[in-house]
Every structure is written in C-alpha cells, then in structure tokens.
C-alpha cells in the first residue's frame, strides 16, 4: 500500500519525537511491504518563525491532500504574549477544524513492565486500559463570543461553552461504537449539576445509548471522575467527554499509567485523520535528547489502524513497544530512582530493532 502522509514536527520536543516515530514507521513499512510518501511542513511556533502564521496555507493544502497527518507538538513560550490567533496553539486548533477532526481518541494503557513507574500503587494500575473519547471541535475551545475587553484594571474576559445536539450525538456514537469492540462500558463525564451544556450532553447521550443496548452507560460529574480515575483506574473502559474535560482528564490518565510521554492520540471523523501524541512541546527539555518518543511512536500505530485499517502493522508497533519496555528500556520520565535512562534516539532505535525482529515481519517474509 502507498502511505501518503504529511509530517508536522512542530515545536519543542516535537521534531525529536517525530523523528523517531518516522524511523519506526519506515521500519514497519519496509518489513511489511508498504511504500511511504512523506512531506514535511511547518506548524505552530516553527511556522510563526518562518512565515508569521501558525498554520500556513501550504501546510493546510498538504494535509488535505494526504491520507493522514502525523504531528509532533506545538507551543513555544516565546509567543506567550502574542494575541490568541497568533499563538502556536492556534495553528493546531485551526488544523483540527480544517480537517473536521471532531473525535479525539486517547488510549491510556498500563504496560505490564511499567506498573512501578506509576505514582499509584502497582495493584491499582495493573490492567488499566482506558479509551478517552474527547470531543475536539466544540466547547470552550471554539465557542463565540470570546474576548478580553475594557481598560486595564477593569478588563473583562469572556469565553463561551456551546454544544449543539448533532455535535454531541456524533461523538457519542464514536464512543458507543468503540465500546462495542471493547468491554462495552461507556462513562459519560459532564458537569450536569451546574452547566446547561452538560445537561444537554447527558440527555443526548442517554438517547443515543438506546441504539446500543449491549453497552452499559453510566454518568459522572467531572470532579468525581477525576477522583475515581486515581482511585480505581482499571474500572474505566470508554470515557466520553467534551473538549476541555477531555484535555484535562487525558493528562491525568497519562500520569496514572506512568508518564504523559506514553500517550498517543488519533483525531478523526473528518476528511483526513490527524495523529498527535497527547503531550505538549515540553520546552524545558527540548533539544536535550531525553524526551520520551513512545507517545509519538504509538501514535503511528493509531495512524496505521484508523486511517489505513492496517491492524497487523499497528499491533506490530504496539508489541514492539511492549517488548522494549519489558527489556527494561526507560527514558528519563519513566526511570525510577536508581534506574538507568536512555536517550530519545536510543529508545527509538530499540523499537525499530524490535519491529525488525518481530514475528509479524517473519510471517510476511
Ligand atoms: C492537547 C493539547 C492541546 C489542547 C493544546 C496544545 C492546544 O493540550 O492536545 O491536549 O489543549 O487540545
Ligand atoms: Mg492537553
């Protein structure tokens, strides 16, 4: 198969982790007989530096004309004082909208080898396998009006949370469909005791659930869900939630399974899928070669699975990551005190080696 992709390395650790993810992608493609056509484009701070636009037109065009997009990270403190539409993050938000990527899947899995990397007790995290389904094009991120107005000292800031029924329904269906292939549980997270958006959310989710009689639906307020996520993470299967709550809970889930650096995500539902690790640009460690590339590498697995239905190739990457972790490889974020840590490039190389010696490859040879 020809895999035609746009790669957006972005800012901070984005280029480092994306570089390793592409090496793993090349290894899988080589092993299982696929051709790659990759084009690299700017986004975020990198694009602002080049052309003063966090999402240049040629980046959008490249993304729309490829079969999937792999992104690293956006964000650079140098642009903190810029107006909202000229921040690196604005490039990513616009791209999600341009691509119509309304469904953000964020799996959080506790790898057996990493039970002791979690700040929680091993017996609590063992077996954790959560799929967060985050609505990605609504809520506070995109609601109008939004502004900071008035004169210094008496300024007023406004953001708007809005959801319409079709937007809730389409994301709910993604969650229920996924649940049917998993443990058939959906937890819908809202704040229906306070917010109108959440009351409508709950009503629409309950209505959709009627089409999925085999799925057990439950509801929680976001504050209580945040607590339960650290108390009993393995009870969670599919978590369905709106944009901002999903942003927060997915970082928390990263902490629970050992490191945010492990989490991959798929932003799908539109014309072209956008694949991005959950972590940010981490400017504090950028350029040091110590970032964890596994989130970006596992993101390639999601890309192969969701944009190309290449399940064997996706599983090959996921198994390779498990093998490497079983072998004791740890980047700094995963190493406990006394454990050796390896660099971004060493971790990437180990995954490439595991892919090249995997049974999936031998089967096809
Ligand atoms: C994420 C990030 C983004 C978000 C930022 C970089 C805009 O935190 O993907 O979780 O808030 O969606
Ligand atoms: Mg986030």
Beta strands in the chain (DSSP E): 2-10, 35-40, 68-73, 103-109, 129-135, 147-149, 156-158, 185-190, 216-221, 238-241, 266-268, 273-275
CB atoms within 10 A of CB 156: 8
**Choice among 53, 234, 251, 361 that is catalytic:** 251
Determine whether 247 is an active site residue.
yes
Ligand 1 contact, 135 CB (< 6 A): no
pLDDT of residue 359: 81
Same fold, 1-109+260-365 and 119-257: yes
Could you give the 3-state DSSP secondary structure of residue 18? helix
The atom of ligand 1 lying closest to the CA of 96 is 12
Q: Which ligand is nearest to the CA of 14?
A: 1
Determine whether 11 is an active site residue.
no
What torsion, rounded to 10 degrees, do the Cα atoms 161, 167, 170, 173 define?
40
By alpha-carbon position, which residue is closest to atom 11 of ligand 1? 247
CA of residue 358 relative to chain centroid, distance: 26
Token readout for 295 is 């989130």
Ligand 1 contact, 242 CB (< 6 A): no
Give the angle subtended at the CA of 332 by the CAs of 331 and 337, to the nearest 5°. Answer: 120
**Residue in 54, 73, 92 to alter for ligand 1 test, most ligand atoms within 8 A of Cβ:** 92
Sequence ranges of the domains in the chain: 1-109+260-365, 119-257
Return the closest-CA partner of residue 244 out of 149, 84, 132: 132
Residue written as token pair 């409508």: 200
**Choice among 11, 79, 102, 141 that is catalytic:** 141
pTM exceeds 0.85 = yes
CB atoms within 10 A of CB 246: 23
Determine whether 350 is an active site residue.
no
5 within 8 A of 67, measured Cβ to Cβ: yes
pLDDT of residue 362: 56
Question: What residues form DSSP beta bridges with 44?
Answer: none
Ligand 1 contact, 89 CB (< 6 A): yes
β-pairing verdict for 68-73 and 2-10: parallel
**Choice among 58, 164, 223, 326 that is catalytic:** 223
Determine whether 275 is an active site residue.
no
DSSP string, 158-170: E------HHHHHH
**Domain 119-257: top CATH class:** alpha beta
Determine whether 214 is an active site residue.
no
Beta strands in 222-351 (DSSP E): 238-241, 266-268, 273-275
7 within 8 A of 22, measured Cβ to Cβ: yes
Peptide bond connecting 334 to the previous residue in cis, omega within 30 degrees of 0: no
Ligand 1 contact, 72 CB (< 6 A): no
Ligand 1 contact, 11 CB (< 6 A): no
Could you give the 3-state DSSP secondary structure of residue 257? coil
Could you give the 3-state DSSP secondary structure of residue 184? coil
pLDDT of residue 365: 42
By alpha-carbon position, which residue is closest to atom 4 of ligand 1? 247
pLDDT of residue 25: 98
List Cβ<8 Å contacts ≥24 apart for 144-150: 146/84
Distance, CA of 261 to CA of 19 (rounded, Å)? 15
The atom of ligand 1 lying closest to the CA of 89 is 7
Return the closest-CA partner of residue 174 out of 162, 164, 188: 188
- Looking at the structure, give the CATH architecture of the domain made up of residues 1-109+260-365: 3-Layer(aba) Sandwich (3.40)
Low-confidence ranges of the chain (pLDDT < 70): 361-365
Ligand 1 contact, 92 CB (< 6 A): yes
The atom of ligand 1 lying closest to the CA of 93 is 7
pLDDT of residue 275: 98
């Amino acid at each position: 198969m020809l895999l035609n992709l746009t790669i957006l390395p972005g800012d901070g650790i984005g280029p480092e982790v994306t570089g390793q993810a592409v090496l793993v992608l090349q290894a899988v493609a080589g092993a299982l007989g696929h051709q790659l056509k990759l084009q690299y484009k700017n986004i975020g701070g990198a694009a602002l530096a080049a052309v003063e636009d966090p999402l240049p037109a040629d980046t959008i065009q490249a993304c729309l004309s490829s079969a999937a997009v792999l992104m690293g990270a956006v964000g650079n403190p140098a642009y903190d004082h810029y107006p909202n539409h000229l921040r690196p993050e604005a490039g990513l938000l616009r791209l999600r909208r341009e691509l119509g990527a309304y469904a953000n899947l964020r799996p959080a899995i506790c790898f057996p080898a990493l039970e002791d990397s979690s700040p929680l007790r091993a017996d609590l995290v063992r077996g954790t396998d959560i799929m967060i389904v985050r609505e990605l094009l609504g809520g506070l991120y995109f609601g109008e009006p939004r502004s900071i107005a008035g004169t210094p000292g008496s300024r007023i800031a406004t953001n708007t949370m809005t959801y319409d029924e079709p937007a809730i329904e389409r994301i709910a269906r993604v969650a229920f469909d996924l649940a049917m292939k998993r443990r058939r549980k959906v937890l819908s997270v809202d704040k229906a005791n306070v917010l109108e958006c959440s009351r409508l959310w709950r009503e629409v989710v309950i209505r959709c659930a009627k089409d999925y009689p085999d799925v057990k639906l439950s509801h929680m307020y976001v504050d209580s869900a945040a607590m339960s996520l650290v108390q009993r993470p393995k009870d969670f299967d599919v978590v369905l939630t709106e944009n901002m709550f999903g942003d927060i809970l997915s970082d928390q889930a990263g902490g629970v399974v050992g490191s945010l650096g492990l989490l991959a995500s798929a932003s799908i539902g539109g014309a072209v899928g956008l694949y991005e690790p959950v972590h940010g640009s981490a400017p504090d460690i950028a350029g040091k070669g110590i970032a964890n590339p596994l989130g970006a590498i596992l993101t390639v697995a999601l890309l192969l699975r969701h944009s190309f239905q290449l399940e064997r190739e996706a599983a090959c990457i996921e198994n390779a990551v498990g093998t490497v972790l079983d072998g004791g490889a740890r980047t700094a974020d995963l190493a406990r005190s006394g454990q050796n840590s390896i660099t971004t490039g060493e971790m990437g190389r180990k995954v490439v080696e595991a892919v090249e010696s995997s049974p999936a490859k031998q089967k096809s040879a």
